[in-house]
Structure 1
Amino acid sequence: MTYVRDTPATEDGAEPAVFVHGLGGSSANWTDLAGLLAHRLDGQALDLPGFGRSDPARSYSVAAFADRVAQVIEHEGRGPVHLFGNSLGGAVVVRVAALRPDLVRTLTLISPAMPFLDARRSAHGRMLPLLLIPRADRLAAKRLATIPPDRLARQILEVCFADPGRIAEQRMAEAIDEARLRYDVPWYLDAYVRTLRSLVATFLRAYLPGGHSLWRLAARITAPTLVIGGDSDRLVDVRVAEQAARTIPDSRLLMLAGVGHVAQMEVPDLVARSVIALLDEVRTSRAADVAR
């Protein structure tokens, strides 16, 4: 079962959108942005397998997640959609847009976890030795058991936000509820560790010969694309957003000063305005094509 959080459109003529969260996140990460865009987009944010309220899966690879996103779009009969991805979700939707262009109207990438090799540029770098240990999720579970849910939620958000003062009280309460869920769901830590391990493997393969490099896939994307990065991102190398914008043919880049890894949560108004500008640009271009 894949859990989907709906943000229904508030006006007629809205187009479908799908939002994909990052590693350890959930569909709740898109609440503010989806609400701000509801006059233009009929939104669905999904929980990737093993995260949030979705069931676990056999595989936690980027390819398997991309297949699940494509299945959700096809099952709902909503494609093509405006597709959004943050962090891990960014890598996932890059693969969807490259391999299934029929499902994508526009693409918005927020701090996409595209491959980079300098582990020092990510707070996840200190976890890499853990990935070499069999059943590393059991060690992680022991560590998790020592952290109260409210402290865990704050630690996560403080890594993701450049300015923790921007964390709204309601969003903190929701994050604490999400943290409690991680204690209750037996497969969560297995999903987290295996997903991180798979993502790291994807990074390494990106610099080897072959057609499955995420960077080579990004170069095949035809959808109009908006790439957003925060210059205070502590989880993805801040140079990645610029490289993604250079690689994807029809792309625009927005770098946000003093913003961290989850711009859609930290500065949702700024992100919403940039998305609306993309939607307006695409609408104008389509109208011009029809008029020719």
Structure 2
Amino acid sequence: MSSTELPFVPPADLLSKAAAVRVAEGERLRSVRLPGITLAVRSRPPAREGLPPALYVHGLGGSSQNWSALMPLLDDVTDNEAVDLPGFGDSPPPDDGNYSVTGHARAVIRYLDACGRGPVHLFGNSLGGAIVTRVAAVRPDLVRTLTLVSPALPEIRVQRTAVPTGLLAVPGVASLFTRFTREWTAEQRVRGVMALCYGDPGRVSPEGFRHAVEEMERRLGLPYFWDAMARSARGIVNAYTVGGQHGLWRQAERVLAPTLLVYGGRDRLVGYRMAQRAARAFRDSRLLTLPDAGHVAMMEYPETVATAFREFLADTGKSAAGTDTEGAADGVPANESTGG
């Protein structure tokens, strides 16, 4: 694995028409080259040495910037990094063009294996939630805890407001949409995305909206933007149809790590009704429901999510201590997972 600091201006061969990648105060952005992929990794210095590592994975159309509001609130309890999935943020497309949930999960695993930071506190939102669920199921050695914000797990009755996103998976639709929306400004696109993803778009500050517009303009300058979106959307749809041991709900049941679930009552992409099913599927889970939040609670209510994670850490720490004691007395292995 090789790692280099990313400049504020992205590589000219990929982003000749794009603006600079935004790096918030206190953040560092570096490029990590691995076999078959190059990943941009956003990080913050921890408050002190020796804190357990955390890795954050964004959703469809997002980037590591989606976690910039939450990470500073956890600097004193975790050593934080957020990854740009291949083809998103500042990460170029994967060499093999694989944007499936499994392909993205493989990229996360490859990074964790190469950097040697595991096991980590693993966070995922939307598509990222499906990805890290798969990571936790197949590589439990890499995961301390799992935090899922509106994870994109299969739904039988998909919300009507989520249908347009799913239609991106249909071959040819992305190119048709591109032609249809050619005259749309970056501001119009951002307002549409925020109306879909936020419970109350009015919570976005003028500065936050301006940064989002700048990022949208940058992404629209990427030659692979719509291809990455369409193929990743297709990956979600395909993952929804997989049954047996590779199905996402079956893999959720296999997750051993303590899991914090966060669902928004105004989510237009992932059904709020799925919260209870997820709480039953993950064997050691805690559920936080935010009635006024939409699809990106960590961006809308970062303080609330941070507080819930801190309490979750304290709770899992007490459980681990209790398990050690009980295991010694009852002959149960100290790492045996119990239902929650």
> d(CA) in 2 for partners of 1:283 and 1:161?
32
Q: Which residue of 41, 44, 64 maps to 2:103?
A: 64
Deviations 1:157-196 (A, max 9, x none): 1211111121133322221122012211010101101111
Residue 112 of structure 1 contacts residue 240 of structure 1 at CA under 8 Å; is this kept in 2? no
2:226 is aligned with 1:177: no
Residue aligning to 1:239: 273
Task: Name the SS of the counterpart of 1:219 in structure 2.
Answer: helix
Task: Name the SS of the counterpart of 1:155 in structure 2.
Answer: helix
Q: How far did residue 73 of structure 1 move?
A: 1.2
2:142 is aligned with 1:118: no
Q: Which residue of 128, 131, 144 maps to 1:105?
A: 144
Task: Name the SS of the counterpart of 1:227 in structure 2.
Answer: strand
Larger Rg: 2
Residue aligning to 1:223: 257
Residue aligning to 2:32: none
> d(CA) in 1 for partners of 2:168 and 2:132?
27
Q: Check 1:122–1:45 CA distance in 2 against 1; reply closer, same or farther (3 A cut).
A: farther
Q: Which residue of 191, 194, 209 maps to 2:231?
A: 194
Residue 13 of structure 1 contacts residue 40 of structure 1 at CA under 8 Å; is this kept in 2? no
> d(CA) in 2 for partners of 1:51 and 1:233?
22
Q: Check 1:280–1:128 CA distance in 2 against 1; reply closer, same or farther (3 A cut).
A: closer
Q: How far did residue 13 of structure 1 move?
A: 3.5
Q: How far did residue 283 of structure 1 move?
A: 2.2
Within-5 A mapping of 1:83-162: 83-119=122-158, 121-129=159-167, 131-132=169-170, 134-162=171-199
Residue aligning to 2:201: 164
Q: Check 1:28–1:128 CA distance in 2 against 1; reply closer, same or farther (3 A cut).
A: closer
Residue 167 of structure 2 contacts residue 173 of structure 2 at CA under 8 Å; is this kept in 1? no
Task: Name the SS of the counterpart of 2:39 in structure 1.
Answer: coil
> d(CA) in 2 for partners of 1:108 and 1:122?
26
> d(CA) in 2 for partners of 1:12 and 1:270?
25
Q: Check 1:127–1:227 CA distance in 2 against 1; reply closer, same or farther (3 A cut).
A: closer
Q: Which has the higher helix share?
A: 1
Q: Which runs of 5+ in 1 are unaligned?
A: none
Q: Check 1:86–1:143 CA distance in 2 against 1; reply closer, same or farther (3 A cut).
A: same
Within-5 A mapping of 1:196-275: 196-205=233-242, 208=243, 210-275=244-309
> d(CA) in 1 for partners of 2:88 and 2:183?
21
AA aligned to 1:59 is N
Q: Check 1:79–1:47 CA distance in 2 against 1; reply closer, same or farther (3 A cut).
A: same
AA aligned to 1:254 is L
Task: Name the SS of the counterpart of 1:280 in structure 2.
Answer: helix
> d(CA) in 2 for partners of 1:158 and 1:73?
34
Identity, % of aligned positions: 44
Q: How far did residue 137 of structure 1 move?
A: 2.8
Residue aligning to 1:283: 317
Q: How far did residue 122 of structure 1 move?
A: 4.6
Q: Check 1:128–1:280 CA distance in 2 against 1; reply closer, same or farther (3 A cut).
A: closer
Residue 153 of structure 2 contacts residue 249 of structure 2 at CA under 8 Å; is this kept in 1? yes
Q: Which residue of 45, 66, 74 maps to 1:29?
A: 66
Deviations 1:236-272 (A, max 9, x none): 1112222111101000111111110000000011000
User: When the two structures are superposed, what TM-score results if normalisation uses the length of structure 2?
Assistant: 0.81
Deviations 1:106-161 (A, max 9, x none): 00000000000223x152303545543x3333223223422111221122112111
Residue 22 of structure 1 contacts residue 89 of structure 1 at CA under 8 Å; is this kept in 2? yes
> d(CA) in 2 for partners of 1:41 and 1:90?
19
Q: Check 1:10–1:144 CA distance in 2 against 1; reply closer, same or farther (3 A cut).
A: farther
Task: Name the SS of the counterpart of 2:177 in structure 1.
Answer: helix
Q: How far did residue 218 of structure 1 move?
A: 0.4
2:76 is aligned with 1:51: no
> d(CA) in 2 for partners of 1:116 and 1:90?
14
> d(CA) in 2 for partners of 1:190 and 1:127?
14
Task: Name the SS of the counterpart of 2:124 in structure 1.
Answer: strand
